[in-house]
Amino acid sequence: MSTAPKIWTRETGLVEKRDLWAAMKRGFRGRCPRCGQGKLFRAFLKTADHCASCGLDFTPHRADDLPAYLVIVIVGHIVVPTILWIETNYTTPVWLSFVAYLPFTFFASLALLQPVKGAVVGLQWALRMHGFDENPPDGIPPV
């Protein structure tokens, strides 16, 4: 660890302002979290290498499994209470339950997966996480 004191100047304190909610909303829509113009994804869940509009590098993001976990929580909080309400108030045949609940759960999960991953990438950019910081701390190797 370096014992040399850091000298703070006006320039070291000037950093780009990053609005968390705007970045997450842009990411949710599949757009660049910085400018909102370029595409965030080049395939269904593959992020682009950089923004075509502002040039922001997307390669340092580390969304990993968080979007899948969040989708499970969101869809579960919609599907489970609905199933419990229907099954306690109405008598439905088992085949009808499978025909209705399974496809809805599957398609709702697929529909939310890309927007939630985009929001997670926007969150990481706004909070300067995982290489989205211009001035990373000394002594920490890149991921």
24, with CB counted inside 10 A (0-12, 13-18, 19+), is buried
Q: What pLDDT does residue 88 have?
A: 92
How confident is the model over 124-135, as a mean pLDDT?
82
All structural domains of the chain with their residue ranges: 19-127
Q: What pLDDT does residue 133 have?
A: 77
Say whether pLDDT at 142 is over 60: no
Say whether pLDDT at 12 is over 60: no
**6 pLDDT tier (thresholds 50, 70, 90):** low
Q: What is the pLDDT of residues 78-127, one digit of tens each?
A: 999 999 999 999 988 999 988 999 999 999 999 999 999 999 999 999 99
Q: What pLDDT does residue 11 have?
A: 61
Radius of gyration of the chain (CA): 21
Dig out the tokens for 87 from the structure.
């099954």
Q: Per this entry, what is the length of the chain?
A: 143
> 126 with 33: CB under 8 angstroms?
yes
Say whether pLDDT at 13 is over 80: no
Dig out the tokens for 31 from the structure.
């757009």
Q: What pLDDT does residue 139 have?
A: 58
> 116 with 74: CB under 8 angstroms?
yes
18 closest CA partner among 111, 108, 121, 116: 121
Q: What is the pLDDT of residues 21-74, one digit of tens each?
A: 999 999 999 999 999 999 999 999 999 999 999 999 998 888 889 999 999 999
